[in-house]
Amino acid sequence: MIIEDLHLLAGQHQLAIKRWELKAGEHWAIFGHSGSGKSLLGAWLAGDLTAERATISQQPARIALVSLEQQQALLELELADDDSEFTEQIDSGHTVLELLEASCSEPSLIEQVSQQCDLRELLTRGFRLLSTGETRRLMLALALVKQPQLLILDEPFAGLDLSHQQQLLSLLEHLSKTCQLMIISSRDDELPVSISHVAVLDEQGLSQQLTIDQWLQHPERQQMEQQAQQQSQAIVQALREFQQVEPVSPLFAITQGSVSYAGETLFEGLDWQIQPGEHWQVRGPNGCGKSTLLNLIFGDHPQCYSNHIEVMGYKRGSGESIWQVKQHIGMVSAGLHLQYRVNCSALEVVLSGLYDSIGIYQQPSELELEQARLWLKLFGLAELEKHNFKSLSYGQQRLLIIARALVKGPRLLLLDEPCQGLDFLQRNTVLKALELVAKHKLSQLVYVTHHLDDALPSIKHFIDFVDGAVKITQHLAFSI
Protein backbone atom coordinates (compact mmCIF):
# COMPACT_ATOMS: atom_id res chain seq x y z
CA MET A 1 0.00 0.00 0.00
CA ILE A 2 1.32 3.46 -0.95
CA ILE A 3 -0.06 6.65 0.62
CA GLU A 4 0.84 9.98 -0.98
CA ASP A 5 -0.11 13.62 -0.40
CA LEU A 6 -2.39 12.79 2.51
CA HIS A 7 -3.99 15.65 4.44
CA LEU A 8 -6.43 14.79 7.24
CA LEU A 9 -8.34 17.32 9.29
CA ALA A 10 -10.75 16.52 12.11
CA GLY A 11 -11.63 19.15 14.69
CA GLN A 12 -8.42 20.52 16.18
CA HIS A 13 -6.28 17.66 14.81
CA GLN A 14 -4.61 17.18 11.48
CA LEU A 15 -2.14 14.86 9.82
CA ALA A 16 -0.01 15.21 6.70
CA ILE A 17 1.93 12.45 4.95
CA LYS A 18 3.93 13.14 1.78
CA ARG A 19 4.70 9.53 0.96
CA TRP A 20 4.55 6.29 2.90
CA GLU A 21 4.95 2.82 1.42
CA LEU A 22 3.93 -0.25 3.40
CA LYS A 23 5.34 -3.23 1.58
CA ALA A 24 3.89 -6.73 1.70
CA GLY A 25 5.24 -8.65 4.67
CA GLU A 26 5.97 -5.50 6.69
CA HIS A 27 4.17 -4.92 9.98
CA TRP A 28 4.22 -1.41 11.40
CA ALA A 29 4.02 0.27 14.81
CA ILE A 30 2.88 3.91 14.92
CA PHE A 31 4.27 6.19 17.63
CA GLY A 32 3.58 9.84 18.33
CA HIS A 33 2.34 12.20 21.01
CA SER A 34 -1.37 12.64 21.77
CA GLY A 35 -2.99 14.76 19.07
CA SER A 36 -0.33 13.95 16.44
CA GLY A 37 -2.88 12.17 14.25
CA LYS A 38 -2.27 8.50 15.08
CA SER A 39 -5.94 7.73 15.59
CA LEU A 40 -6.94 9.90 12.60
CA LEU A 41 -4.74 7.72 10.42
CA GLY A 42 -6.42 4.54 11.65
CA ALA A 43 -9.92 5.97 11.27
CA TRP A 44 -9.18 7.17 7.71
CA LEU A 45 -7.74 3.84 6.58
CA ALA A 46 -10.77 2.05 8.06
CA GLY A 47 -13.13 4.34 6.13
CA ASP A 48 -14.47 6.17 9.20
CA LEU A 49 -12.97 9.51 8.17
CA THR A 50 -12.72 11.38 4.87
CA ALA A 51 -9.42 13.04 3.91
CA GLU A 52 -9.14 16.59 2.61
CA ARG A 53 -6.97 15.07 -0.08
CA ALA A 54 -5.06 11.83 -0.56
CA THR A 55 -3.74 9.39 -3.11
CA ILE A 56 -3.68 5.74 -2.13
CA SER A 57 -2.76 2.75 -4.25
CA GLN A 58 -2.60 -1.00 -3.66
CA GLN A 59 -5.03 -0.59 -0.79
CA PRO A 60 -6.24 -3.84 0.82
CA ALA A 61 -9.87 -4.63 0.10
CA ARG A 62 -10.71 -5.43 3.72
CA ILE A 63 -9.43 -3.19 6.51
CA ALA A 64 -10.56 -3.42 10.13
CA LEU A 65 -9.89 -1.07 13.04
CA VAL A 66 -9.98 -1.62 16.80
CA SER A 67 -9.79 1.59 18.84
CA LEU A 68 -10.83 3.14 22.13
CA GLU A 69 -12.85 5.70 20.17
CA GLN A 70 -14.86 2.91 18.54
CA GLN A 71 -15.47 1.38 21.95
CA GLN A 72 -16.73 4.75 23.19
CA ALA A 73 -18.99 5.10 20.14
CA LEU A 74 -20.50 1.63 20.65
CA LEU A 75 -21.26 2.43 24.29
CA GLU A 76 -23.05 5.62 23.25
CA LEU A 77 -25.15 3.65 20.76
CA GLU A 78 -26.04 1.15 23.49
CA LEU A 79 -26.99 3.97 25.86
CA ALA A 80 -29.12 5.61 23.17
CA ASP A 81 -30.92 2.28 22.70
CA ASP A 82 -31.56 1.89 26.44
CA ASP A 83 -35.27 1.27 27.08
CA SER A 84 -35.08 1.01 30.88
CA GLU A 85 -37.47 3.97 31.20
CA PHE A 86 -40.24 1.95 29.58
CA THR A 87 -39.71 -1.43 31.25
CA GLU A 88 -39.34 -2.67 34.80
CA GLN A 89 -35.94 -4.23 34.04
CA ILE A 90 -32.51 -2.68 33.71
CA ASP A 91 -31.33 -2.76 30.08
CA SER A 92 -27.85 -4.31 29.97
CA GLY A 93 -27.55 -3.74 26.22
CA HIS A 94 -27.24 -6.12 23.30
CA THR A 95 -25.50 -9.37 24.11
CA VAL A 96 -22.05 -10.21 22.82
CA LEU A 97 -23.59 -12.76 20.45
CA GLU A 98 -26.13 -10.26 19.09
CA LEU A 99 -23.38 -7.74 18.37
CA LEU A 100 -21.27 -10.36 16.60
CA GLU A 101 -24.25 -11.59 14.57
CA ALA A 102 -24.98 -8.02 13.49
CA SER A 103 -21.47 -7.84 12.02
CA CYS A 104 -21.23 -11.37 10.63
CA SER A 105 -23.84 -13.87 9.48
CA GLU A 106 -21.52 -16.90 9.39
CA PRO A 107 -21.98 -18.96 12.59
CA SER A 108 -18.70 -20.82 12.04
CA LEU A 109 -16.76 -17.55 11.87
CA ILE A 110 -18.45 -16.28 15.05
CA GLU A 111 -17.46 -19.50 16.79
CA GLN A 112 -13.88 -19.07 15.59
CA VAL A 113 -13.41 -15.48 16.75
CA SER A 114 -15.23 -16.18 20.03
CA GLN A 115 -12.63 -18.81 20.76
CA GLN A 116 -9.72 -16.63 19.58
CA CYS A 117 -10.84 -13.72 21.78
CA ASP A 118 -11.96 -15.85 24.75
CA LEU A 119 -15.60 -14.76 24.51
CA ARG A 120 -17.39 -18.11 24.51
CA GLU A 121 -18.53 -17.78 28.13
CA LEU A 122 -19.65 -14.18 27.57
CA LEU A 123 -21.88 -14.63 24.51
CA THR A 124 -25.13 -14.16 26.44
CA ARG A 125 -23.88 -11.24 28.55
CA GLY A 126 -25.09 -7.71 27.84
CA PHE A 127 -22.54 -5.22 26.51
CA ARG A 128 -22.96 -2.86 29.46
CA LEU A 129 -22.14 -5.65 31.93
CA LEU A 130 -18.74 -6.33 30.37
CA SER A 131 -15.57 -5.27 32.13
CA THR A 132 -13.10 -3.01 30.32
CA GLY A 133 -10.93 -5.98 29.29
CA GLU A 134 -13.93 -8.02 28.16
CA THR A 135 -15.13 -5.09 26.05
CA ARG A 136 -11.69 -4.80 24.44
CA ARG A 137 -11.81 -8.47 23.47
CA LEU A 138 -15.27 -7.98 21.97
CA MET A 139 -14.03 -5.04 19.88
CA LEU A 140 -11.23 -7.23 18.52
CA ALA A 141 -13.71 -9.99 17.68
CA LEU A 142 -15.94 -7.49 15.82
CA ALA A 143 -12.91 -6.59 13.70
CA LEU A 144 -11.84 -10.18 13.06
CA VAL A 145 -15.24 -11.27 11.69
CA LYS A 146 -14.50 -8.93 8.78
CA GLN A 147 -11.56 -11.19 7.88
CA PRO A 148 -9.26 -8.18 7.36
CA GLN A 149 -6.22 -8.06 5.14
CA LEU A 150 -5.01 -5.04 7.12
CA LEU A 151 -5.76 -5.00 10.85
CA ILE A 152 -5.25 -1.67 12.63
CA LEU A 153 -5.05 -1.89 16.41
CA ASP A 154 -5.08 1.34 18.43
CA GLU A 155 -3.70 0.59 21.93
CA PRO A 156 -4.69 -3.11 21.67
CA PHE A 157 -3.44 -4.14 25.12
CA ALA A 158 -5.27 -1.41 27.06
CA GLY A 159 -7.46 -2.95 29.74
CA LEU A 160 -6.37 -6.56 29.17
CA ASP A 161 -5.12 -8.64 32.09
CA LEU A 162 -1.73 -10.31 31.78
CA SER A 163 -3.15 -13.63 30.63
CA HIS A 164 -5.15 -12.02 27.82
CA GLN A 165 -2.18 -9.83 26.85
CA GLN A 166 -0.20 -13.00 26.24
CA GLN A 167 -3.10 -14.56 24.35
CA LEU A 168 -3.34 -11.46 22.16
CA LEU A 169 0.38 -11.50 21.42
CA SER A 170 0.10 -15.13 20.30
CA LEU A 171 -2.98 -14.36 18.22
CA LEU A 172 -1.26 -11.42 16.51
CA GLU A 173 1.72 -13.58 15.63
CA HIS A 174 -0.68 -16.08 14.08
CA LEU A 175 -2.59 -13.37 12.19
CA SER A 176 0.63 -11.77 10.92
CA LYS A 177 1.14 -14.73 8.59
CA THR A 178 -1.98 -13.87 6.59
CA CYS A 179 -2.81 -10.28 7.57
CA GLN A 180 -0.77 -7.07 7.65
CA LEU A 181 -0.64 -5.47 11.11
CA MET A 182 -0.55 -1.80 12.04
CA ILE A 183 -0.31 -1.16 15.78
CA ILE A 184 -0.79 2.32 17.22
CA SER A 185 0.80 2.27 20.65
CA SER A 186 2.70 4.08 23.39
CA ARG A 187 4.33 0.85 24.57
CA ASP A 188 7.18 -0.51 22.50
CA ASP A 189 7.81 -3.22 25.11
CA GLU A 190 4.50 -4.96 24.28
CA LEU A 191 4.74 -5.20 20.51
CA PRO A 192 4.57 -8.60 18.81
CA VAL A 193 7.90 -9.80 17.43
CA SER A 194 6.49 -9.63 13.89
CA ILE A 195 6.58 -5.79 14.01
CA SER A 196 9.37 -4.82 11.62
CA HIS A 197 9.00 -1.05 11.15
CA VAL A 198 8.08 2.09 13.07
CA ALA A 199 6.44 5.29 11.81
CA VAL A 200 6.83 8.37 14.01
CA LEU A 201 4.25 11.17 13.83
CA ASP A 202 4.66 14.73 15.08
CA GLU A 203 3.17 18.19 14.40
CA GLN A 204 4.60 18.11 10.85
CA GLY A 205 3.06 14.71 10.10
CA LEU A 206 4.99 11.54 9.31
CA SER A 207 8.47 12.61 10.39
CA GLN A 208 10.40 9.34 10.54
CA GLN A 209 10.26 5.84 9.08
CA LEU A 210 12.52 3.43 10.95
CA THR A 211 13.16 -0.23 11.45
CA ILE A 212 12.16 -1.50 14.88
CA ASP A 213 15.83 -1.79 15.89
CA GLN A 214 16.50 1.81 14.90
CA TRP A 215 13.57 2.98 17.02
CA LEU A 216 14.68 1.08 20.14
CA GLN A 217 18.09 2.77 19.96
CA HIS A 218 16.71 6.21 19.10
CA PRO A 219 18.03 9.11 21.26
CA GLU A 220 14.55 10.66 21.23
CA ARG A 221 13.38 7.95 23.65
CA GLN A 222 16.00 8.98 26.22
CA GLN A 223 15.12 12.66 25.79
CA MET A 224 11.45 11.91 26.54
CA GLU A 225 12.49 10.06 29.71
CA GLN A 226 14.30 13.18 30.96
CA GLN A 227 11.37 15.43 30.05
CA ALA A 228 8.98 13.12 31.91
CA GLN A 229 11.12 13.36 35.03
CA GLN A 230 10.98 17.17 35.00
CA GLN A 231 7.23 17.30 34.41
CA SER A 232 6.48 14.75 37.13
CA GLN A 233 8.42 16.75 39.73
CA ALA A 234 6.41 19.88 38.85
CA ILE A 235 3.15 17.92 39.23
CA VAL A 236 4.18 16.63 42.65
CA GLN A 237 5.19 20.10 43.82
CA ALA A 238 1.75 21.42 42.87
CA LEU A 239 0.06 18.55 44.69
CA ARG A 240 1.93 19.48 47.87
CA GLU A 241 0.26 22.90 47.77
CA PHE A 242 -3.27 21.48 47.64
CA GLN A 243 -2.72 18.38 49.78
CA GLN A 244 -5.51 17.50 52.24
CA VAL A 245 -3.83 16.67 55.55
CA GLU A 246 -6.65 16.03 58.05
CA PRO A 247 -6.14 12.52 59.50
CA VAL A 248 -8.82 9.88 58.98
CA SER A 249 -8.54 6.27 60.17
CA PRO A 250 -9.43 4.13 58.38
CA LEU A 251 -9.89 5.85 55.05
CA PHE A 252 -12.03 2.93 53.91
CA ALA A 253 -13.36 -0.24 55.49
CA ILE A 254 -15.65 -2.98 54.22
CA THR A 255 -16.93 -5.89 56.30
CA GLN A 256 -17.97 -9.18 54.70
CA GLY A 257 -18.36 -7.32 51.42
CA SER A 258 -20.06 -8.98 48.46
CA VAL A 259 -21.31 -8.07 45.00
CA SER A 260 -23.64 -10.14 42.82
CA TYR A 261 -25.22 -9.67 39.40
CA ALA A 262 -28.28 -11.65 38.28
CA GLY A 263 -27.55 -14.40 40.80
CA GLU A 264 -23.85 -14.60 39.90
CA THR A 265 -21.47 -13.71 42.73
CA LEU A 266 -18.55 -11.53 41.71
CA PHE A 267 -16.89 -11.70 45.11
CA GLU A 268 -17.92 -12.24 48.73
CA GLY A 269 -16.57 -12.31 52.26
CA LEU A 270 -14.29 -9.30 51.78
CA ASP A 271 -12.91 -7.81 55.01
CA TRP A 272 -10.54 -4.99 54.13
CA GLN A 273 -9.35 -1.65 55.43
CA ILE A 274 -7.15 1.14 54.08
CA GLN A 275 -5.16 2.58 56.96
CA PRO A 276 -3.33 5.93 56.87
CA GLY A 277 -0.11 5.78 54.88
CA GLU A 278 -0.99 2.58 52.97
CA HIS A 279 -0.99 2.25 49.18
CA TRP A 280 -2.79 -0.71 47.62
CA GLN A 281 -2.79 -2.43 44.26
CA VAL A 282 -5.89 -4.41 43.29
CA ARG A 283 -5.06 -7.42 41.10
CA GLY A 284 -6.93 -10.11 39.26
CA PRO A 285 -8.19 -11.14 35.81
CA ASN A 286 -10.67 -9.20 33.68
CA GLY A 287 -14.16 -9.25 35.13
CA CYS A 288 -13.17 -10.34 38.67
CA GLY A 289 -14.39 -7.17 40.39
CA LYS A 290 -11.43 -4.76 40.52
CA SER A 291 -13.28 -1.82 39.00
CA THR A 292 -16.37 -2.71 41.03
CA LEU A 293 -14.34 -2.44 44.26
CA LEU A 294 -13.08 1.02 43.32
CA ASN A 295 -16.64 2.11 42.53
CA LEU A 296 -17.79 0.82 45.93
CA ILE A 297 -15.21 3.07 47.58
CA PHE A 298 -16.19 6.04 45.44
CA GLY A 299 -19.92 5.49 45.94
CA ASP A 300 -20.71 5.04 42.25
CA HIS A 301 -21.94 1.46 42.55
CA PRO A 302 -25.56 0.66 43.55
CA GLN A 303 -24.48 -2.13 45.89
CA CYS A 304 -22.34 0.16 48.04
CA TYR A 305 -25.47 0.75 50.15
CA SER A 306 -26.21 -2.96 50.58
CA ASN A 307 -22.74 -3.52 52.04
CA HIS A 308 -21.30 -2.54 55.42
CA ILE A 309 -18.93 0.22 54.29
CA GLU A 310 -17.17 3.08 56.03
CA VAL A 311 -15.36 5.69 53.97
CA MET A 312 -13.64 8.88 55.12
CA GLY A 313 -15.20 8.51 58.57
CA TYR A 314 -18.77 8.10 57.26
CA LYS A 315 -20.86 4.94 57.24
CA ARG A 316 -22.57 4.42 53.90
CA GLY A 317 -26.30 5.03 54.20
CA SER A 318 -26.05 6.99 57.46
CA GLY A 319 -27.18 10.25 55.92
CA GLU A 320 -23.85 11.46 54.59
CA SER A 321 -23.90 13.53 51.40
CA ILE A 322 -22.06 12.38 48.29
CA TRP A 323 -19.98 15.56 48.48
CA GLN A 324 -18.87 14.86 52.07
CA VAL A 325 -17.18 11.70 50.84
CA LYS A 326 -16.12 12.56 47.31
CA GLN A 327 -14.42 15.84 48.23
CA HIS A 328 -11.59 13.73 49.66
CA ILE A 329 -11.30 11.26 46.76
CA GLY A 330 -9.89 11.56 43.24
CA MET A 331 -10.99 9.03 40.63
CA VAL A 332 -9.55 7.96 37.27
CA SER A 333 -11.21 5.13 35.36
CA ALA A 334 -12.41 4.11 31.92
CA GLY A 335 -15.98 4.27 33.22
CA LEU A 336 -15.62 7.86 34.39
CA HIS A 337 -13.95 8.75 31.09
CA LEU A 338 -16.87 7.28 29.17
CA GLN A 339 -19.38 9.23 31.29
CA TYR A 340 -17.97 12.50 29.96
CA ARG A 341 -20.43 12.79 27.08
CA VAL A 342 -21.52 16.32 28.00
CA ASN A 343 -20.33 19.32 26.00
CA CYS A 344 -17.72 21.09 28.08
CA SER A 345 -14.29 22.63 27.64
CA ALA A 346 -10.96 21.21 28.82
CA LEU A 347 -10.90 23.81 31.59
CA GLU A 348 -14.39 22.82 32.75
CA VAL A 349 -13.40 19.15 32.95
CA VAL A 350 -10.58 19.98 35.37
CA LEU A 351 -12.79 22.40 37.33
CA SER A 352 -15.45 19.71 37.71
CA GLY A 353 -13.03 17.77 39.90
CA LEU A 354 -13.51 20.43 42.56
CA TYR A 355 -17.27 19.76 42.57
CA ASP A 356 -17.28 16.03 41.66
CA SER A 357 -19.72 16.65 38.84
CA ILE A 358 -19.81 15.69 35.17
CA GLY A 359 -19.68 19.17 33.71
CA ILE A 360 -19.95 22.56 35.47
CA TYR A 361 -23.23 23.77 37.00
CA GLN A 362 -22.02 26.71 39.10
CA GLN A 363 -19.84 29.76 38.65
CA PRO A 364 -16.24 28.98 39.69
CA SER A 365 -14.28 31.49 41.73
CA GLU A 366 -11.16 33.19 40.40
CA LEU A 367 -9.07 31.06 42.77
CA GLU A 368 -10.65 27.87 41.40
CA LEU A 369 -10.05 29.01 37.81
CA GLU A 370 -6.41 29.72 38.65
CA GLN A 371 -6.10 26.30 40.27
CA ALA A 372 -7.58 24.49 37.25
CA ARG A 373 -5.41 26.43 34.80
CA LEU A 374 -2.32 25.45 36.78
CA TRP A 375 -3.13 21.77 36.28
CA LEU A 376 -3.76 22.28 32.56
CA LYS A 377 -0.29 23.86 32.34
CA LEU A 378 1.35 21.06 34.34
CA PHE A 379 0.03 18.48 31.87
CA GLY A 380 0.93 20.55 28.81
CA LEU A 381 -2.71 21.26 27.96
CA ALA A 382 -2.91 25.02 28.58
CA GLU A 383 -3.44 25.80 24.89
CA LEU A 384 -6.50 23.51 24.86
CA GLU A 385 -8.30 25.37 27.67
CA LYS A 386 -11.31 26.36 25.55
CA HIS A 387 -11.38 23.28 23.33
CA ASN A 388 -14.35 20.95 23.61
CA PHE A 389 -13.52 17.74 25.47
CA LYS A 390 -15.03 15.58 22.72
CA SER A 391 -12.83 17.22 20.07
CA LEU A 392 -9.60 16.13 21.79
CA SER A 393 -7.67 12.92 21.26
CA TYR A 394 -8.31 10.03 23.64
CA GLY A 395 -4.91 10.55 25.29
CA GLN A 396 -5.57 14.26 25.85
CA GLN A 397 -8.97 13.40 27.31
CA ARG A 398 -7.39 10.89 29.70
CA LEU A 399 -4.84 13.50 30.88
CA LEU A 400 -7.74 15.83 31.66
CA ILE A 401 -9.45 13.09 33.69
CA ILE A 402 -6.19 12.64 35.65
CA ALA A 403 -5.87 16.41 36.22
CA ARG A 404 -9.52 16.41 37.34
CA ALA A 405 -8.67 13.79 39.98
CA LEU A 406 -5.62 15.68 41.26
CA VAL A 407 -6.92 19.26 41.23
CA LYS A 408 -8.25 19.19 44.82
CA GLY A 409 -5.24 17.37 46.32
CA PRO A 410 -7.29 14.33 47.45
CA ARG A 411 -6.46 12.16 50.44
CA LEU A 412 -7.30 9.05 48.42
CA LEU A 413 -6.62 8.45 44.71
CA LEU A 414 -8.52 5.65 42.97
CA LEU A 415 -6.65 4.79 39.77
CA ASP A 416 -8.13 2.21 37.41
CA GLU A 417 -5.72 1.80 34.48
CA PRO A 418 -4.87 5.54 34.56
CA CYS A 419 -2.35 5.32 31.70
CA GLN A 420 -4.82 3.89 29.19
CA GLY A 421 -4.49 5.80 25.90
CA LEU A 422 -1.53 7.95 26.98
CA ASP A 423 1.43 8.41 24.66
CA PHE A 424 5.02 7.47 25.55
CA LEU A 425 5.89 10.79 27.22
CA GLN A 426 2.55 11.19 29.00
CA ARG A 427 2.65 7.66 30.41
CA ASN A 428 6.19 8.09 31.75
CA THR A 429 5.28 11.46 33.25
CA VAL A 430 2.17 10.10 35.00
CA LEU A 431 3.94 6.99 36.31
CA LYS A 432 6.88 8.99 37.68
CA ALA A 433 4.49 11.46 39.31
CA LEU A 434 2.39 8.71 40.90
CA GLU A 435 5.49 7.03 42.30
CA LEU A 436 6.58 10.31 43.89
CA VAL A 437 3.06 10.86 45.26
CA ALA A 438 3.12 7.40 46.84
CA LYS A 439 6.70 7.67 48.09
CA HIS A 440 6.08 10.99 49.85
CA LYS A 441 2.52 10.05 50.91
CA LEU A 442 0.98 13.13 49.31
CA SER A 443 -2.11 11.01 48.72
CA GLN A 444 -2.92 7.35 49.24
CA LEU A 445 -3.32 5.20 46.17
CA VAL A 446 -5.63 2.34 45.27
CA TYR A 447 -4.19 1.27 41.93
CA VAL A 448 -5.28 -1.10 39.18
CA THR A 449 -3.01 -1.98 36.26
CA HIS A 450 -2.31 -5.07 34.19
CA HIS A 451 1.00 -3.80 32.83
CA LEU A 452 4.22 -4.95 34.47
CA ASP A 453 6.04 -1.82 33.31
CA ASP A 454 3.50 0.35 35.14
CA ALA A 455 4.58 -0.96 38.54
CA LEU A 456 4.90 1.59 41.36
CA PRO A 457 7.67 0.44 43.73
CA SER A 458 6.19 2.31 46.70
CA ILE A 459 3.04 0.15 46.66
CA LYS A 460 3.57 -2.66 49.16
CA HIS A 461 0.02 -3.85 49.83
CA PHE A 462 -1.96 -6.05 47.45
CA ILE A 463 -5.51 -7.34 47.27
CA ASP A 464 -5.99 -10.27 44.87
CA PHE A 465 -9.26 -11.49 43.35
CA VAL A 466 -9.14 -15.09 42.15
CA ASP A 467 -12.27 -17.12 41.32
CA GLY A 468 -14.49 -15.15 43.68
CA ALA A 469 -12.04 -15.45 46.57
CA VAL A 470 -10.09 -12.53 47.99
CA LYS A 471 -6.54 -12.64 49.32
CA ILE A 472 -4.84 -9.71 51.06
CA THR A 473 -1.06 -9.76 51.01
CA GLN A 474 2.02 -7.62 51.46
CA HIS A 475 4.96 -8.11 49.13
CA LEU A 476 8.25 -6.44 48.33
CA ALA A 477 8.05 -7.30 44.63
CA PHE A 478 5.48 -6.50 41.95
CA SER A 479 3.65 -9.31 40.19
CA ILE A 480 0.31 -9.87 38.49
Domain boundary assignment for the chain: 2-219, 227-474
* Beta strands in 88-192, from DSSP E residues, in sequence order: 150-154, 180-184
Going by C-alpha positions, the residue among 315, 282, 261, 236 that lies closest to residue 473 is 282
CA distances to 188, 288, 290, 360, 416 from 265, rounded to whole Å, are 37, 10, 14, 37, 21
User: Within the chain, which residues score under 50 in pLDDT?
Assistant: 476-480
CA–CA gap between residue 36 and residue 391 (Å, rounded): 13
- Beta sheet of 252-261, edge-to-edge order: 264-274, 252-261, 308-311, 314-315
Query: 2-219: what fold?
Result: Rossmann fold (3.40.50)
**280-283 and 444-448: which strand pairing?**
parallel
Q: E-strand spans in 212-353?
A: 252-261, 264-274, 280-283, 308-311, 314-315, 329-332
**Which pTM does this prediction carry?**
0.78
Phi first, then psi, for residue 423 (nearest 5°) are -80, 180
**Distance (Å, rounded) from C-alpha 15 to C-alpha 351?**
30
Rounded Cα distance, 368 and 62, in Å: 50
CA distances from 94 to 98, 124, 132, 322, 406 (A): 6, 9, 16, 32, 36
Q: Residue 396: CB partners within 8 Å, gap ≥ 6? A: 34, 35, 346, 381, 384
CA distances (Å), origin 388, targets 61, 269, 384, 391, 392: 35, 44, 8, 5, 7
d(CA 20, CA 22): 7
**Is 84 exposed, middle or buried (CB count within 10 Å of its CB: 0-12, 13-18, 19+)?**
exposed
pLDDT of residue 322: 67
Closest residue by Cα to residue 325 from 315, 334, 339: 315
| Class in CATH terms, 227-474 | alpha beta
Q: Is the peptide bond before 457 cis (omega within 30 degrees of 0)?
A: no
What is the reported pLDDT for 86? 52
CA 393/CA 36 separation, integer angstroms: 9
Question: What letter would DSSP give residue 316?
Answer: T
Question: What ranges make up the beta strands (E) of 155-229?
Answer: 180-184, 197-202, 205-211
- Domains 2-219 and 227-474 are alike in CATH topology: yes
